[in-house]
Amino acid sequence: MIEWSGIFHILATPFREGGALDSEGLPRLLESALATGITGFTILGIAGEAHRLTDEERRRVVETVVKEVRGRVPVVVGVSASGTHLATAFARVAHEHGADGLMVAPPAGLKNLDAVLEYYRAVAAATPLPIVLQDEPVTTQVMMPAPFIAQVCAEISRIEAVKLEEPPTLPKITRLRALFGRRVAIFGGLGGVYFFEELSRGADGAMTGFPYPEALRAIRDHFVAGRRDDARALFYRWLPLIRYESQPGATPGTAVGIRKEILRRRGWIGSALVRPPAPELDAGTHAEIGEILAAVAS
């Protein structure tokens, strides 16, 4: 049974300079993240470039991550897809290779909420694994109002957590807490840009690939221990990097590229390559990353 709280680190997918999947580099990345005290991993998400992986590469990532983690923390696998049959197939592969849970966003562009509900029912029926419902309308273009999310969670008991990424996330956390008829965990995303306020509204943690997960863990530790001022001060210390690293509205791939460059500088991955089509970071961005890291991470 998964303890749905704390920091679930969204794993970047490492590639070699030529673009091949760096399966051999995955253990170093995983061990580096585990050393920060994270609660779990979420893999094959949007920031994990899952949409740029072949089916065989997806399988290899799940297999390698589960094997390396060895049950030390839960591994949640993103199985979102453009169609129900594809999502259920991804879910079965994740289950077969030892995943502990699934993260599922609705198919992109699907405006019929009845169809969205049926999609979630089908994915839930495909395996016995618990599900994180991902509410991410920027990418999916699917708006799921709080009453609808509450309805889906009420009808599908396999959904045990929700990841909210529709700004403003804060009022939606409050509405969902009032609407839920059972315990459903709530996680923030969006690179952690509203993390302190989300905790104040009742979020259980964050699911994000922010490249200093130990900072998010420390913020939450202070908050849970009742040291609200310390949590706020630490959040404000890291906010310049959180803001810069998330790059909302940037060219697709830019935010992922910044994140991977920071992970490369930390020695967690060997290459910051983002699979094309994605722009390379310019010299100014590299300089800005260095300046911000010197200010907040030293």
Show Cβ contacts of residue 153 under 8 Å, excluding neighbours closer than 6 positions: 133, 159, 162, 180, 182, 184
Share of the chain above pLDDT 90, in %: 93
What is the total residue count of the chain?
Answer: 298
- Report pLDDT for 252: 57
List the chain domain ranges: 6-236
Query: Helices 283-296 & 228-246, crossing angle to 10 degrees?
Result: 170
Chain mean pLDDT for the chain: 96
Identify the CATH class of 6-236: alpha beta
DSSP string, 34-50: HTTT-SEEEESSTTTTG
User: How far are the Cα atoms of 87, 96, 179, 229 from residue 224, in angstroms, in the given order?
Assistant: 36, 36, 23, 12
* CA pair distance 206, 188, nearest whole angstrom: 5
Q: 147-162, pLDDT tens digit by residue?
A: 999 999 999 999 999 9
What number of CA atoms fall less than 13 Å from residue 17's CA on the CB side?
A: 1
Q: What is the pTM of this model?
A: 0.96
